[in-house]
Every structure is written in structure tokens, then in C-alpha cells.
Amino acid sequence: DTEVTQTPKHLVMGMTNKKSLKCEQHMGHRAMYWYKQKAKKPPELMFVYSYEKLSINESVPSRFSPECPNSSLLNLHLHALQPEDSALYLCASSLSGNTIYFGEGSWLTVV
């Protein structure tokens, strides 16, 4: 079973709010990812965690703050976002960094 679960599926937040996106996988994967996707565009890598340590930060603004509490969980904390941050946020995981499996995504709207 290749399942990555994301919550919430939809989130609307104001520009002064603080919210979090959550991701969970129970496949024993050791790498977890956050991607951002705008409509009909390919996903853009934001962060990579490998063995619970941040290994890649693609120069993402500090208003996005990732956290990996354990090997199964990945959070993305959101604060002071801008309307242009509205997008689909995809979590993903992989066993060895080769085949990457994506979740269903969280649709974020910033108002």
C-alpha cells in the first residue's frame, strides 16, 4: 500500500493567521517532501527531509516552516502568507529517494 495522507484537504486562511498542514505515511519511508503546485503546472520542490533531518530547502520564504516530528509525520507551518501562496501543497515520501509517492494534497487559499 503506497499511501501518503494529508490533512486538511482544503484550508482558507487570512494573511495574519497561523495554520499547519499535516502529512503522514506508514510505509517506512525515510525521505519526506513538500511540493507546491500551481494550476496545471508541475510541482515545485520546497523541502526534503531525510531520516528526520532537513536536507534540502529550495530557498523557500521563512513564512513556510517545515517540521518532521518523527519518521512518519511531516508538518508545514504557515504564517503571514500572501495571496500568491495560494496553491496545492503536496506531501510525498520515498524509501530511498528514487520512487516518490505523493499524497492527495492540501488546497490552500490565502485571503
Residues that bind another protein (CB under 8 A): 2, 6, 31, 33, 40-43, 45, 48, 50, 55-56, 88, 90, 94, 97-105
Cα dihedral 101→33→44→79 (10° resolution): 130
Q: Classify burial at 33, counting beta carbons within 10 Å of its beta carbon; exposed 0-12, middle 13-18, buried 19 or more.
A: buried
Give least dist CB 55 to another protein, A: 6
Nearer to another protein, 79 or 104 (CB): 104
CB of 51 to another protein, least distance (A): 12
Least separation in angstroms between residue 23's CB and another protein is: 11
Helix (H, G, I), strand (E, B) or coil at 95: coil
